[in-house]
Structure 1
């Protein structure tokens, strides 16, 4: 490690790290960046002695009058910080783990960038003061809260309404290409709204809803799989068979509006087709060539359309469904645009599985484990295991009520 790195102040590395982790041009955006910046600031304050108990003076030697540098970091420092986080009685076990992961991720980046010789934060002795792992896997536990679900669905609903209104109120004198651009924007916004509502309210697994490139049986739901009148949707379940999933009321209107706008040429069209321009360009050229059209004629046809998707609709050139990875990209974009605050060790956006888990929380609390298991297409035993924190909280309320009644009876008997 270069000597100059040893004497670099810790906070001199923060901006470069956050840019690498941020979203958008220049790495200036993203929930992860915002949350990581907050924890790095807290860590910097702690290393300088501004956080901790009255006896804590920071990591700089007492005889040195300077700010903390990488020279001061070692395994013991991260152990002390883990102890500091674990000693904060206002933090839950998982929150302590989450906060430490932000600092640990920065530490690993510093090793790669040459600021540190070793990943001290990941050493066993450094992590020993952290609360014991509860056995849950980071990334599998995100659940959309009611506030997050409402914020995201409200955002996509407003975007779709505005885009559809803009398309349906176009002035007559607009050119055909301008009208097509407005229709395309409305279709994309309506598709995003329908996708978010389905993920938020049906609890269907994203792999059952969309295309999996590694499994030809999972080609994504088609319009023929949906019955908006009955409120049901046929999906290929995790248990390797087709089954009907429920479409609750909040989902019906976005799907119906989206279908009317798309007006798919056949029922075999995917409900959520890809809008990827490269994929659609290849599809259009290949399919039209197979129909006998020459390259020059295909080029002229494409120039008549603002987007290849619109040509595909007119010619019934059925595109593939978006993939599960595509859905994650869409949710990343929408979570960022909606400015939803998310604190999670793995995801800085509302991930698809979080919609399913969030709906599971709602169902368990409202109707119990048996009904939730049926809706989630899981065994009741598995649902009880995954949502055991709900039962624990309810039992705590029962115990509190019992204590109140008993204590009240005891007090009355002594009066």
Structure 2
């Protein structure tokens, strides 16, 4: 999470300890269990950084509005798929416990996080589609079906163009192998800078792609063998006429007609071979949108016969679930730093926070082993 860069001035009480100093004292003196300290430390240090960005110098300066803003940032991370709704509530609970300590330490009269106003923006504390991650069996079945679908399209036993089958297969592989965000792969109708991954973003010789990351900076992502092979096959089948061609062109015909009209000033007649026109004139079609990619994932999930435990009306394997699964797999196997690099988290603390549930489970197992 990142706070507001325009810190608001506060009338700081110089006799009161800073938020960071109080967090350090809480972690050192109050939390006796190493597991609890390790779990809570990155969350509380992030809260201290949030306070610094907001211009909150001391604990005494905190009010319910500040805690409400912190809850809003947790919600934004939840919406972006970085943390589960239950995790957001857990982080807020850590902060509330810390501030209760501050009340007992007479640094605050009341706990500013223990109010309805402070908790207003927190997501629901229950499993939803937003907390989804692909189970290994689901991932393998989806990849198998994507391969099978290409074969069926080649043999013309299904009504799916071969290029589209390869397109959809590559989407699945890149999600599963690289943990890319949907906003880094597909077009965002509400963000002009996110127009979808294009072939000039791909370097097959050096084995990487360049994506417009969450930080709104361009980031380099290395290709695994499976991702590299999938991109090579897609490029062979697609034969993009220009490097600006999208990896995942839209299927939406009106958008293609609009692209031609915008480029030439004339709209092709209805029923024209719009794909041929685009190629012949090297007019770049729009990329599939994030919404379109979700429809594709719904189709693939249903066609593959994959059961998804979700409260959504149309349960399916969502794009961000692959990212969470990749990070979770690496983290659970003890490769936390590899997970950090794969997910492009700014710090290892962010990775620890994202997978605090795995960390908690490991701590519980360690306790059981020690007691045996």
State the TM bucket, normalised to the shorter chain. Answer: 0.5 to 0.7
- Post-superposition shift, 1:209? 1.4
Indicate the structure with greater helix content.
1
Contact 1:275 1:309 in 2 (8 A): no
Superposed counterparts of 1:194-273, under 5 Å: 194-273=170-249
Alignment pair present for 1:350 and 2:317 = yes
Alignment pair present for 1:390 and 2:358 = yes
Greater shift in the superposed pair: 278-287 or 200-209: 278-287
Superposed counterparts of 1:255-404, under 5 Å: 255-289=231-265, 298-299=268-269, 303=272, 305=273, 308-346=274-312, 348-378=315-345, 379-404=347-372
- Post-superposition shift, 1:282? 3.2
- Post-superposition shift, 1:254? 1.8
SS of 1:211 mapped into structure 2: coil
- In structure 2, what is the equivalent of residue 138 of structure 1? 128
Deviations 1:158-208 (A, max 9, x none): 1113323559xxxxxxxxxxxxx98x7001111010111111211111111
Task: Flag the 1:204–1:266 CA change in 2: closer, same or farther, 3 A.
Answer: same
Q: Distance in 1 between matches of 2:289 and 2:354?
A: 26
Superposed counterparts of 1:5-20, under 5 Å: none
Q: Distance in 1 between matches of 2:276 and 2:235?
A: 14
SS of 2:192 mapped into structure 1: strand
- Post-superposition shift, 1:288? 4.5
Instruction: Pick from 124, 138, 143 the counterpart of residue 153 of structure 1.
Output: 143
Q: Distance in 1 between matches of 2:138 and 2:260?
A: 38
Deviations 1:355-388 (A, max 9, x none): 1111111111234322211210123222212211
Q: Distance in 2 between matches of 1:248 and 1:225?
A: 16
Superposed counterparts of 1:118-137, under 5 Å: 135=125
Contact 1:187 1:258 in 2 (8 A): yes
Taking structure 1 as the reference length, what is the TM-score of the superposition? 0.55
SS of 1:243 mapped into structure 2: strand
SS of 2:210 mapped into structure 1: strand
- In structure 2, what is the equivalent of residue 55 of structure 1? none
Taking structure 2 as the reference length, what is the TM-score of the superposition? 0.61
Number of corresponding residues: 249
Q: Distance in 1 between matches of 2:185 and 2:203?
A: 15
Q: Distance in 2 between matches of 1:269 and 1:236?
A: 16
Contact 2:259 2:286 in 1 (8 A): no
Q: Distance in 1 between matches of 2:207 and 2:262?
A: 37
SS of 1:385 mapped into structure 2: helix
- In structure 2, list runs of 5 or more residues that go unmatched: 1-85, 87-122
